[in-house]
Structure 1
Amino acid sequence: MSYDESPQPARRPSRRRHLTLAVAALVPTGLVGWLVWQGMSGSGEDGASAATAAGATASSAAASPTGPATPRPAASDPGGGAADDVPGGDDPAGPLAGKVVVIDPGHNPRNKDHPSEINEKVDIGTATKECDTTGTETDSGYTEAEFTLDVAHRLRALLVRQGATVTYTYDNDRPYGPCVDERARIGNEAKADAVVSVHADGSAPGNRGFHVILPAPVKGGDADTSAIVGPSRELGEHIVGNFVRETGSAPSNYLGDGTGLDVREDLGGLNLSTVPKVFLECGNMRDSADAALLTDAEWRQKAARGLADGIGGFLKK
Structure 2
Amino acid sequence: MPSQSRAFAMAFAAAVLLLVGFAARGVSSGSSGSGALPRTDAAVGGMSLPAGQDSLRGRTILLDPGHNGGNAAAAAAISRKVDAGGMEKECDTVGAETDDGYPEHAFTYDVAVRAAALLRGRGAMVVLTRTDDSGVGPCINERARIGNDVHADAAVSVHADGGPPSGSGFHVIAPSLGPDGANAVILAPSARLAEALRMGFERDTGEPRADYVADAGLSFRADLGGLNLSRVPKVFLECANMRNPADATRVSDATWRQHAAQGVADGVTLFLTAPRS
- Are the equivalent residues in 1 in contact too, given 2:70–2:133 (CA < 8 A)? no
Q: How many residue pairs were aligned? A: 247
Match of 1:265 among 222, 227, 235: 222
Three-state SS of the structure 2 residue aligned to 1:132 is: coil
Indicate the residue corresponding to 1:306 in structure 2: 263
User: In structure 2, do the counterparts of structure 1 residues 234 and 209 end up closer, same or farther at CA, with 3 Å as the change threshold?
Assistant: same
In structure 1, C-alpha distance between the alignment counterparts of 2:206 and 2:93, rounded to whole Å: 29
Q: Is the 8 A contact 2:163 2:241 kept in 1?
A: yes
Q: Which residue of 1 aligns with 2:233?
A: 276
Q: After superposition, what is the alpha-carbon deviation per residue over 1:180-236, rounded to whole angstroms, capped at 9, x for unaligned?
A: 00000000000000000000000111110000011001251xx61111010001001
Work out whether 1:40 is the aligned partner of 2:22.
no
User: Which residue matches 2:39?
Assistant: none
Decide whether aligned partners of structure 1 residues 182 and 313 sit closer, same or farther in structure 2, where only a CA change above 3 A counts.
Answer: same
Partner of 1:256: 214
Unaligned runs of 5+ in 2: 1-15, 33-42
Partner AA of 1:104 in structure 2: D
Q: Which runs of 5+ in 1 are unaligned?
A: 1-27, 45-60, 71-92
TM-aligned CA distance change 1:95 to 1:273, over 3 Å: same
Kindly report structure 1 stretches of 4+ aligned residues shifted beyond 3 Å: 31-36, 38-44
TM norm structure 1: 0.73
Give the structure 1 partner of residue 35 of structure 2.
none
Partner of 2:201: 243
> Once the two structures are aligned, what percentage of the paired residues are identical?
50
The question of whether the paired residues in 1 share the 8 Å contact of 2:171 and 2:198 is answered with yes
Q: Which has the higher contact order (CA 8 A, sep 6+)?
A: 1
Task: Look up the match of 1:83.
Answer: none
Q: Counterparts of 1:32 and 1:267 in 2: how far apart (Å)?
A: 37
Tell me the residue number matched to 2:168: 208
Other structure's SS at 1:227 match: helix
Q: Which amino acid aligns with 2:142?
A: E
Residue 266 of structure 1 aligns to which amino acid in structure 2? D
Distance in 2 between the 1:63 and 1:113 partners? 45
RMSD: 2.5
Task: Tell me, in whole angstroms, the C-alpha distance in 2 between the residues paired with 1:43 and 1:316.
Answer: 29
Alpha-carbon separation, structure 2, partners of 1:263 and 1:69: 29
Instruction: Report the TM-score when normalising by structure 2.
Output: 0.83
- Tell me the residue number matched to 1:315: 272
